[in-house]
Amino acid sequence: MSAEHKYVPSEIEAKWQKVWQEQKTFKVTEEPDRKKYYLLEMFPYPSGRIHMGHVRNYSIGDVVGRFKKMRGFNVLHPMGWDAFGMPAENAAIKNKSHPAVWTYENIAYMREQLKQMGLSYDWDRELATCDVSYYRWEQKLFVEMFKRGLAYKKKSFVNWCPSCETVLANEQVEDGGCWRCDTEVVQKELEQWFFKITDYAEELLDFTNKLPGWPERVLIMQRNWIGKSIGCEIDFPLEGNGEPIRVFSTRQDTLFGATFMSLAPEHPRALELTTPDRRSEVEAFIEKVKKTDRIMRTADDLEKEGVFTGSYCLNPATGKKMPVYLANFVLVEYGTGAVMAVPTHDQRDFEFAVKYNLPMVVVIQPEGEQLDPATMTAAFTEPGIMANSGQFDGQKSETSKEAIAHWLEKEGKGKKTVNFRLRDWGVSRQRYWGSPIPIIYCDSCGTVPVPDKDLPVVLPKDVKFTGEGGSPLATLESFYKVDCPICGKPARRETDTMDTFVESSWYFLRYCSPDFEGGMLDKEKAGYWMSVDQYIGGIEHAVLHLLYARFFTKVMRDLGYVDVDEPFTNLLTQGMVIKDGAKMSKSKGNVVDPDALIKRYGADTARLFSLFAAPPEKDLDWNEQGVDGCFRFINRVWKLIHEHLETVIKAPVLDVTALTDEERSLRRAVHKTLKKVTEDIDERFHFNTAIAAVMELMNTLQGSRLSTPQGASVMKEALETVVAMLAPFIPHVTEELWQSLGHKTPLSATPWPLFDAEAIIDEELLIVVQVNGKLRSKLSVPAVIDEEAVKKLAVSDDRIKLFTDEKQIRKVIYVPGKLVNIVVA
């Protein structure tokens, strides 16, 4: 082969990227008459440069995008930048620069990297969440949410990361540490803004059963996180005067067995209920619990400890006195922060009762057994038969729950309740590089939202980054000193910014009309594109981003912005990129740099390997030799096509009635492959097997020597099909080869080929013959053959006779077109 026909990725990749950009190949607009397909990959944080996780994520997405486009869909495939966040601020402090400078430089670099990968984005829709043109609408929504009570401020204990010097939402605390920097999270009491996600808890949960296109494990994680439990709120009157203590319990069937009360040490009434003689001991206990760090406190082997407050309450069912304790295992944030303790039927209460010598009464008996508190070694937590429970004795504990709830309500002692583990989403962050919260505090008028005409609240540029004392906004007079929009008196602006997860909760909606000046989105355009048909990203956002985005979509629906209930119809969570048995990371020293990879092999090879080595949802083991193999494969395709170019271009029109057996057989292989590849991409997202099928066909083609004119036509069809099938995976080299094959229209604008149903019909079938389920022979039979004839052939086969001679044939099973199994005694 001459030098001019050598495969040089860098040349052809630059060439086609330029063509796609200049011709705006992937720019889309709303076309109501066409089927739309909204494809989205999670947008990146502009950290500096893309990593292999991005390469994989975006390669997977690009296959789907290019394939759907060739299949005739109007494909919306946008890209942008999740551009607010802490690393920008930290870099600014370190470099004595500004977060905006760092962020926009990174975006510029990473945009070029993505372009070098040849991804089929509509770049005209690119957005960066740190642009005022983006976050201004988020502020407008905040005000609308505030007016509806969906955004509110309250003083509460919050998760505080001492290293990031900011608050974290519950979802952002992992194993007691900060999700970003792993620093141990402490509790701090602060005034914070919250979004009322709990208002949507029921709907968010309901819809986990209406998202068949989501991986089950993500739905399970979200269900667990929302944590719905059905039970009762029950009021326990105090022995003396005062408000009763309210508890939440899912085990109201054990109410008659409640012998003491456990409150969380942080319970607001803990000290109020403490008698003077117990005060010093109680205070010491509260101090001790506070000092125990969060990880220790939630460890399951933590010793159950508590302290008696000196007060008593009364069991509303039995009237018996119950001592009120503080207990270290009761969580203030769950339920009411108070638990009725039933030591016989709850393991924690049992351990506690044993330690402090508290009374026990068995109120649920296992069937056919009599438990005695004196001899019990553990709580009995299974369902059983009610005992010592007044009018409920003898009932099944499971079914009595409803009756007891009813009785409590009738008696005015409690009511059926649904409790959620989900807390409201704390969105205040004491940081600079985020969207300002559009609120003004006035001594006379209170908390006032910034009026529409004054929006947006622009993040000021003239700030200094010292790295000390939290957000620079809090000390920037020109920012926080404002006049009250209602009374005009001097007032103070909110200096906290919003959690960056707020931006990513609606960016997929903004992509529908990224330049819309009239509001968050153009409702008509969003109506055409939404919902996202396929969303692709990492599993790490299973509860965080994916729950917030679902919540925002529902809020925006209720505010009239969109008509959909859910943002993402189908979700694909891709696996991690692994090398040498570990996730790629700088600290492990096993990172592969995408720039170096593309420089050495080209983007097509990088894409091909990340798609071929494993199916998308599995972890991908990076292997340099495997990359080599993919590069070799592309070269083989390149070479084979150039070898046949002259004959193929002169080939006559294909006449399927004039083919030799060999030609017909080759054509059958081509169309069978096309069928498989189409199905693997479209229905299963199994790109690895699709690529393997094309490799297999390539092996067949390389062994074929077709010498007739019609043979050249068959080869032409075969080569064109190979190129078209590979287009979604390796778009640059296939465009080039498509052009070499004489096509004027780019492959990216060419429809996906359809397989010829006639061509794939087998003339002969291979029938496997088993004796007692073991493979013993194979038969080649005509495709049209009846069952009896196949069975007869099988039974009389010489090799089969060796195994059936002198034995009695009991049964002959025939699976049409596949197999015969002869059962002998």
Partner RNA sequence: GCGGGCAUGGUGGAAUAGGUAGACACAAGAGACUUAAAAUCUCUCGGGGGCAACCCUGUGCCGGUUCGAGUCCGGCUGCCCGCACCA
d(CA 751, CA 694) in angstroms, rounded, equals: 18
Q: Is 632 in the site for RNA (CB under 7 A)?
A: yes
303 to 322: interface string for RNA, x by CB under 7 A: -x------------------
Q: List CB contacts of 578: < 8 A, sequence separation 6 or more.
A: 584, 619, 620, 621, 622
**Contacting RNA within 439-478 (CB under 7 A):** none
Q: What are the φ/ψ torsions at residue 249 (nearest 5 degrees)?
A: -145, 140
**Contacting RNA within 363-392 (CB under 7 A):** none
Residues in the chain: 825
**Contacting RNA within 327-346 (CB under 7 A):** 328-331, 334-335, 337, 339-340, 346
The residue (of 128 and 232) whose beta carbon lies closer to RNA is 232
Cβ 266 to RNA, closest distance in Å?
11
Q: Per CB under 7 A, which region of 116-124, 469-477, 710-718, 764-772 contacts RNA?
A: 764-772
Cβ 654 to RNA, closest distance in Å?
26
The residue (of 563 and 624) whose beta carbon lies closer to RNA is 624
Q: What are the φ/ψ torsions at residue 702 (nearest 5 degrees)?
A: -65, -25
Q: Is 423 in the site for RNA (CB under 7 A)?
A: no
User: Would the CA dihedral through 426, 431, 434, 436 be positive or negative?
Assistant: positive
Q: Is 407 in the site for RNA (CB under 7 A)?
A: no
683 to 712: interface string for RNA, x by CB under 7 A: xx-x-xx-xx--xx-xx--xx---------
Q: Per CB under 7 A, which region of 427-435, 654-662, 739-747, 768-776 contacts RNA?
A: 768-776
Q: Outline where 452-543 has alpha helix (H).
A: 477-480, 507-510, 523-529
Q: Please name which of 764, 758, 779, 774 lies closest in space to residue 824, comparing C-alpha atoms.
A: 774
Cβ 10 to RNA, closest distance in Å?
18
Q: Is 625 in the site for RNA (CB under 7 A)?
A: yes
The residue (of 331 and 749) whose beta carbon lies closer to RNA is 331
Q: Is 1 in the site for RNA (CB under 7 A)?
A: no
User: Would the CA dihedral through 708, 709, 714, 715 be positive or negative?
Assistant: positive
The residue (of 766 and 789) whose beta carbon lies closer to RNA is 766
The residue (of 532 and 634) whose beta carbon lies closer to RNA is 634
Q: Is 5 in the site for RNA (CB under 7 A)?
A: no
**Contacting RNA within 278-307 (CB under 7 A):** 297-300, 302, 304
The residue (of 93 and 221) whose beta carbon lies closer to RNA is 221
Q: Is 626 in the site for RNA (CB under 7 A)?
A: yes
Q: Report yes or no: 52 and 146 within 8 Å, Cβ to Cβ.
A: no
Q: Is 588 in the site for RNA (CB under 7 A)?
A: no
Cβ 451 to RNA, closest distance in Å?
40
Q: Cα dist. 772→371, 777, 778, 805, 822 in Å?
A: 56, 12, 15, 14, 6
Q: Report yes or no: 306 and 341 within 8 Å, Cβ to Cβ.
A: no
Q: Is 623 in the site for RNA (CB under 7 A)?
A: yes
**Contacting RNA within 172-201 (CB under 7 A):** 174
Of the candidate residues 774, 798, 805, 806, the single one contacting RNA (CB under 7 A): 774
The residue (of 684 and 792) whose beta carbon lies closer to RNA is 684
**Contacting RNA within 655-684 (CB under 7 A):** 676, 679-680, 683-684
Q: Is 248 in the site for RNA (CB under 7 A)?
A: yes
Q: Cα dist. 740→12, 686, 706, 719, 746 in Å?
A: 12, 29, 21, 11, 11
The residue (of 754 and 813) whose beta carbon lies closer to RNA is 813
Cβ 632 to RNA, closest distance in Å?
4
**Neighbouring-strand partners of residue 376:** none
d(CA 593, CA 575) in angstroms, rounded, equals: 18
d(CA 532, CA 41) in angstroms, rounded, equals: 10
Measure the N-to-C terminal CA separation of the chain; round to a whole number of Å. 63
212 to 231: interface string for RNA, x by CB under 7 A: ----xx--xx--xx-x-x-x
Tokens, residue 28: 């889309």
Please report which helix (H) or strand (E) contains residue 295, including its range: helix 294-298
d(CA 501, CA 507) in angstroms, rounded, equals: 10
Q: Is 628 in the site for RNA (CB under 7 A)?
A: yes
d(CA 663, CA 667) in angstroms, rounded, equals: 6
Instruction: Say how many C-beta atoms besides its own lie within 10 A of residue 706's C-beta.
Output: 20
Tokens, residue 384: 């059983």
Cβ 697 to RNA, closest distance in Å?
9
Q: Is 592 in the site for RNA (CB under 7 A)?
A: no
Cβ 397 to RNA, closest distance in Å?
13
The residue (of 432 and 631) whose beta carbon lies closer to RNA is 631
List the helix and strand counts (H, then E) for the chain. Answer: 24, 34
**Contacting RNA within 784-823 (CB under 7 A):** 799, 811, 813, 815, 818-819, 821, 823
CA dihedral in degrees (612, 613, 615, 616; nearest 10)? -90
Of the candidate residues 250, 395, 665, 704, the single one contacting RNA (CB under 7 A): 250
Angle of helix 709-726 versus helix 661-679 axis, rounded to 10 = 10
d(CA 98, CA 399) in angstroms, rounded, equals: 64
Q: Is 590 in the site for RNA (CB under 7 A)?
A: no
# residues contacting RNA (CB under 7 A): 87
The residue (of 279 and 583) whose beta carbon lies closer to RNA is 583
